[in-house]
Amino acid sequence: MFALFDLDDTLHDKTASLKVCADVIYTEFLFDLAVNRDEFTASFLSENCIIQPKAQVFDILAQGYSLDISLKTAMFHFFDTQFHTFSKRFDHVIETMDFLKSENVRLACVTNGRDFFQRNKIEALGLANYFDVIVTSGELGVKKPNPLIFNTALEQLGAQAKECIFIGDSLTADMLPAKQLGMKTVWVNRVNPIRSKPDYVDAKLESYSQFVDIWQQLA
Ligand SMILES: [Mg+2]
C-alpha cells in the first residue's frame, strides 16, 4: 500500500502556526504602531486561510493597517523566511508516520503552495525523511484538485491509484479528486466532527490516535 498525505490542516496545524507567527510579526513590526494585537492576529489568520497569493495577503494587511511599502516588504520577507520555524504538527503525527514505515508503506506528500515554502514546513515539522515523494503545486505548476498533481505522485511512487489511501482535509481538493482516480480516502475533519461524510469519503479521522484502526480497516 501507499499513503498520500496533504500537508496544511492535515499534518500541519496551520491555524496554530499562524497564530504564533502573527504574534511574533506583531511584536517585531507593529508593536509601536496604533494597531491592536488581537485584531491583527484575527485578520492575519483569516487572510492567510483564504486561497490567494501570499503577496496579496500582505497587500491587504498593509492597506488595512496603513503600513508603508518598506514595512510591508519586511513583514512579507519575514513570513517567507521564518514561517516554517513556527510550524506545529497535529498530535500523534510522528507515531502515525512510524507506524506506516513499520508496515513498509511508501509515503507521498501532495500539497498546494509555493515549493520552497511547503518544503521548508515539511522539513521543520520533522517529516521530510518519511516521504519517498513530495509533489508541490508550486513546482509542478498545477494545483489540486487537478488530477495531474495526483498522477505525478503516483508515477513517482510507482503506484496504482487502487493501491493508495489519500489522507486530507479538503473535500474538494483532496477527497473528491482522489476518489475519482480510484484511491481510498480518509478525511481529516477536526473543524466540525459531527458533519456526516460524503459517499466519496471512506473514513473520517478526528485525531491521529484513530489512524492505525482506520488504516487496518482500509488497507
Ligand atoms: Mg489541506
113 and 50 in a common domain: no
Kindly report, residue by residue over 198-207, the tens digit of the pLDDT: 999 999 999 9
Compute, in angstroms, the gap from residue 28 CA to the centroid of ligand 1.
28
174 C-alpha to ligand 1 centroid (Å): 8
Asked if residue 121 and residue 59 are part of one domain, the reply reads no
Ligand 1 mean position, distance from CA 173 (Å): 8
Distance 70 CA to ligand 1 centre (A): 31
Q: Which of 86, 115, 144 is the last residue of a domain?
A: 86
3-state secondary structure the chain: CEEEECCECCCECHHHHHHHHHHHHHHHHHCCCCCCHHHHHHHHHHHHHCCCCHHHHHHHHHHHCCCCHHHHHHHHHHHHHHHHHHCCECCCHHHHHHHHHHCCCEEEEEECCCHHHHHHHHHHCCCHHHCCEEEEHHHHCCCCCCHHHHHHHHHHHCCCHHHEEEEECCHHHHHHHHHHHCCEEEEECCCCCCCCCCCCCCEEECCHHHHHHHHHHHC
CA of 69 to the centre of ligand 1 (A): 31
Same-domain status, 29 and 18? yes
pLDDT by position in tens, the chain (length 219): 999 999 999 999 999 999 999 999 999 999 888 899 999 999 999 999 998 999 999 999 999 999 999 999 999 999 999 999 999 999 999 999 999 999 999 999 999 999 999 999 999 999 999 999 999 999 999 999 999 999 999 999 999 999 999 999 999 999 999 999 999 999 999 877 667 889 999 999 999 999 999 999 999
Q: Is 204 in the same domain as 188? A: yes
Q: What is the pLDDT of residues 110-147, one digit of tens each?
A: 999 999 999 999 999 999 999 999 999 999 999 999 99
Please tell me whether residues 106 and 196 are part of one structural domain. yes
Report CA(65)–ligand 1 centroid distance (Å). 29
Residues, CB within 5 angstroms of ligand 1 (ion): 6, 8-9, 169
What is the 126 CA–ligand 1 centroid distance (Å)?
Answer: 18
As for how many domains the chain has, the answer is 2
CA of 35 relative to ligand 1 center, distance in Å: 30
Residues spanned by the domain of 169: 2-13+89-218
User: Within this chain, do residues 105 and 200 fall inside the same structural domain, yes or no?
Assistant: yes
How much is the pTM? 0.94
